[in-house]
Amino acid sequence: MITKLDQMFDALKSKPKKRLIGAYAVDSHTIGAINQAVEMGIIEATLVGDEEIIKKVCAEHGYNLNNFTLVHEPNDQKAALKSAEIINNGGGDLIMKGLLSTDKYMRAILNKEKGLMKPGAVLSHVTVIESPNYHKLIICGDVAVIPEPDLKLKLAITNYLIKTAQALGIETPKVAIIGPSEQVLPKLSSSLDATILSKMGERGQIKNAIVEGPLAIDLAIDKESAEIKGIDNPVVGDADCLVFPNICAGNVFYKTMTKLAKCELGAMVTGAKVPAILSSRGDSVMTKLYSIALSALTAK
């Protein structure tokens, strides 16, 4: 079982290399992270973008151009669509955003004719956080894509988190459906949704996981809080996965962990044909590398 983010690198070295497609990967931030992942031996990479710019960036920063297959497409939107096309033709296992807007990147993934969506699929953001104050990784969602998930979408988020946990070697993940209280509050829809998801887990409708909710965040991650409140179940104080009631709760948790607690993380958008890395220029090199590794681990 992987309990630290850097353990993903060793896990990948024992597996066949996945093929990453960099969508308009023409900037030093993206190329640098991909180059490092290639040199670590965890992926193979194709960069789609303006060849002249890519070659110039590689020369300026000392990146080995031979680490990449280059596909020339100087237009950012067309480069994103070309990246999706390469994957649809069997040439890639994961996709990474380069120097184009998130809107254009997601538009290519969602394109009905050339994109990467299966009928009825739901996109969701999965984050894996390493905290020095918790005894294992925290796998959580959704913090960035789905604003106000209903019960159906929360079920999808839950299943994505479970699959991610299993890719990290957690055979039966412990899932906490987060709310403001462990009490069932009939006037609060998130509390009712959590209760239903918990019951679905109990009855085997959510497979290969232990699901409990609603649980306040302190109960999910702190055994002492659960003992004080007299709550005893396999999830409290030992949750692998946190399902947030909405993007506000998830995003506040995510940014508090990274900015105040200085936690490191890897993240991806899941639900498409392949994992999609949605990194920003502000992400650290390690965040980008962890995101590449996480996506490679979960790619089919």
**What pLDDT score does 284 carry?**
83
293 is a domain residue: yes
Both 137 and 211 in one domain: the answer is yes
**What pLDDT score does 10 carry?**
95
36 is a domain residue: yes
Phi/psi for 67 (5° steps) reads: -75, -10
CA distances from 79 to 24, 96, 260 (A): 5, 12, 37
222 is a domain residue: yes
267 is a domain residue: no
Both 29 and 64 in one domain: the answer is yes
Look at the block and give the residue holding tokens 């789905």. 146
* pLDDT one-digit tens code per residue, 159-171: 999 999 999 999 9
How many domains does the chain contain in total?
Answer: 2
Both 81 and 190 in one domain: the answer is no
The residue range of the domain holding 247 is 124-260
| Residue 74 predicted with pLDDT over 90 | yes
Phi/psi for 127 (5° steps) reads: -120, 135
Q: What is the mean pLDDT of the chain?
A: 95
Both 105 and 134 in one domain: the answer is no
With 0.85 as the threshold, say if the pTM is over it. Answer: yes
* pLDDT one-digit tens code per residue, 78-135: 999 999 999 999 999 999 999 999 999 999 999 999 999 988 899 999 999 999 999 9
Strands of the chain, DSSP E: 18-23, 43-49, 68-72, 94-97, 124-130, 138-141, 174-178, 210-215, 241-243, 264-270, 276-277
CA distances from 69 to 24, 47, 65, 86, 227 (A): 13, 6, 8, 12, 55
Both 14 and 110 in one domain: the answer is yes
Cβ atoms of 142 and 247 closer than 8 Å: yes
Tokens of 19: 């093929």
Amino acid at 300: K
